[in-house]
Amino acid sequence: LVNGFERYPEFLPWCGAARVIEATDTIIVGELYIQKGSIRRSFITKNTLTPPARIDLSLVEGPFKSLRGYWLFEAIGSEACRVCLDLEFDFSGRLISIAFGPIFSQIAGSLVNAFCDRADQLYGQ
């Protein structure tokens, strides 16, 4: 689900578009377009997959000085898993930080719940 990058616009209201630039079995490079009100920004990340437990994220291009993080998936029995997201980011300039910082912080804080809700929709509880 997290790896299904191109489907993000279907269930993340702030995601205006998403596209996969490059994909292999273990790496996906993709671009996300964030749209909130009149603010629209895109960024590209390289996502390194370590199935089934981890996805590491790193910035390729975008309005950040740095962006890195990871998703962790820990099995809980055979029907569920615990999901954890850790993101660290710093914007490339003061103006971008002022305009985009609160929006991105809100998005980052709501991601795990958004993916859990989507999993419930697709797979049931």
pLDDT of residue 81: 86
pLDDT of residue 96: 81
Domain that holds residue 17: 5-123
Dihedral (C-alpha) 109, 41, 30, 5: value to the nearest 10 degrees? 50
pTM of the model: 0.84
- Backbone Cα Rg of the chain: 15
Count of structural domains within the chain: 1
| 17-44 per-position pLDDT tens digit | 999 999 999 999 999 999 888 888 899 9
Q: Which residues contact 119 (CB under 8 A, 6 or more apart)?
A: 1
Rounded to whole angstroms, the Cα distance separating 97 from 51 reads 34
Question: By three-state DSSP, how is residue 74 classified?
Answer: strand
> For 74, phi and psi rounded to 5 degrees?
-115, 120
Residue 39: give its domain's CATH number: 3.30.530.20
Nearest residue to 90 (alpha-carbon basis) of 111, 117, 69, 112: 69
| 43-98 per-position pLDDT tens digit | 999 999 998 899 999 999 998 899 999 999 999 988 888 889 999 988 888 888 88
